[in-house]
């Protein structure tokens, strides 16, 4: 079984504005500052709870010079966070599946939803997928990933696997999305460890899904694949976690051992930020 969400990763715009919004406005902890391991000229920021627990993590690649994107089909169109009552604005947008919620945008334009869902600390609540044809995605979620139907409201259908909740909205006439700043890159689901991840990898291959090898993300290990509508999914291990390279995570730029020899040139190219 998937144990719930691990993280959601999106493209941000300006790195300082991204830091300020998630730390100060949403009250999340910066649990790691590092770079995109595949493109070390770009930051990778991880926000979450005090321990960086899987299920609380939102991560960003700031991309100040991003070309224009296009919202469309095959895209995660919004990310919902479960929050405590005191985090919610007075005026709610309404209720969805009997939970009060409120919509806002981050500085890059990413659509966020705050949901009052009986949560003490902020954590991932759900993601919404826009799909030109919801049927194959729903079939994939249930037949392969172990989700079950959890309700319908208007055109919106809800699917659940433990703590992971996916809503699907049909977008039959939309063009295919083109990702840019303010858009989600992928969603990751949790497994306890390497053995469970390898079982999932074998199962996906059995179902004819093209899945990557296991990739070392330093703080967890990952496999990636696409659901039938084109949204990128990841399955990530809980460990080793964010305390592997620093005792007080998030304070200083961390690089994996293979990038450490080029730290100076990497830091010279990154725009300076401060944790004010
Ligand atoms: Zn990821």
- Is the pLDDT confidence value at 203 over 80? yes
Å from CA of 94 to ligand 1 middle = 31
d(CA 225, CA 221): 14
**Residue-wise pLDDT tens digits, 6-51:** 999 999 999 999 999 999 999 999 999 999 999 999 999 999 999 9
**Residue-wise pLDDT tens digits, 120-179:** 789 999 999 999 999 999 999 999 999 999 999 999 999 999 999 999 999 999 999 999
Q: Is residue 244 part of a domain?
A: no
Q: Is residue 108 part of a domain?
A: yes
d(CA 126, CA 147): 13
Å from CA of 236 to ligand 1 middle = 7
| Tally of domains in the chain | 1
Q: Is residue 115 part of a domain?
A: yes
Q: What is the CATH number of the domain that holds 34?
A: 3.10.180.10
Å from CA of 55 to ligand 1 middle = 12
24: helix, coil or strand? helix
Q: Is residue 222 part of a domain?
A: yes
- Is the pLDDT confidence value at 68 over 90? no
Å from CA of 187 to ligand 1 middle = 7
40-to-9, 18, 34, 45 alpha-carbon distances in Å: 16, 18, 9, 12
Å from CA of 9 to ligand 1 middle = 6
Å from CA of 90 to ligand 1 middle = 33
Full residue range of the structural domain in which residue 90 is found: 5-237
Those residues whose beta carbon sits under 5 angstroms from the ion ligand 1 are 9, 188, 234
Å from CA of 60 to ligand 1 middle = 10
Instruction: Give the max Cα distance, the chain.
Output: 54
């Amino acid at each position: 079984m998937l144990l719930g969400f691990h993280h959601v990763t999106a493209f941000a715009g300006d790195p300082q504005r991204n830091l300020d919004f998630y730390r100060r406005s949403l009250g999340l902890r910066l649990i790691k500052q590092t770079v995109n391991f595949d493109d070390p000229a770009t930051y990778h920021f991880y926000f979450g709870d005090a321990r960086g627990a899987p299920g609380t993590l939102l991560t960003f690649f700031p991309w100040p010079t991003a070309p224009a994107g296009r919202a469309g089909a095959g895209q995660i169109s919004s990310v919902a966070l479960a929050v405590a009552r005191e985090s919610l604005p007075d005026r709610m947008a309404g209720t969805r599946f009997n939970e009060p919620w409120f919509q806002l945008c981050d500085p890059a334009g990413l659509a966020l939803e705050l949901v009052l869902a009986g949560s003490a600390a902020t954590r991932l609540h759900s993601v919404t997928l826009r799909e030109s044809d919801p049927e194959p995605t729903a079939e994939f979620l249930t037949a392969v990933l172990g989700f079950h139907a959890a309700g319908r409201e208007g055109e919106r259908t809800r699917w659940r696997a433990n703590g992971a909740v996916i809503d699907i909205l049909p977008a039959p006439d939309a063009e295919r999305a083109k990702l840019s700043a303010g858009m989600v890159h992928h969603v990751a689901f949790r497994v306890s460890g390497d053995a469970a991840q390898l079982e999932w990898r074998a199962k996906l291959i059995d179902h004819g899904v093209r899945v990557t090898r296991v990739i070392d993300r330093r703080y967890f290990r990952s496999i990636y694949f696409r659901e039938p509508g084109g949204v990128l999914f990841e399955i990530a291990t809980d460990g080793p976690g964010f305390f592997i390279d620093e005792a007080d995570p998030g304070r200083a730029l961390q690089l994996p051992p293979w990038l450490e020899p080029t730290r100076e040139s990497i830091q010279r190219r990154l725009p300076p930020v401060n944790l004010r």
